[in-house]
Structure 1
């Protein structure tokens, strides 16, 4: 029976630390994850910007004349 008392301290401490860490992280979690349609649109916008940037860099790399 003494092992129960000896083991209860670390178990209670670990449980309290887990609840505390969860509670602190609860406020920092994002409210909602973006849906599929929104993610695809954002990715398309990213690709258009990337394409524009690479085209601009290619135009600057060409020698004039």
Structure 2
């Protein structure tokens, strides 16, 4: 998987931004939402997922546990 980028200092992130930061594909993120109840991004008025910093940190932990350890 690609290297992890620094998490920018902002409140909300779109799924594409999360993929770029974490190196995880969108379909994998959506699947992980079904497998890990702690990963539950909010949805905006348009129904798009919006992730917070804590969601990205959780994604990075899950990625590390599944792929690196």
Q: Please classify the TM superposition score into its range, dividing by the shorter chain length.
A: under 0.3
Q: Which has the larger radius of gyration?
A: 1
Higher relative contact order (CA 8 A, sep 6+): 2
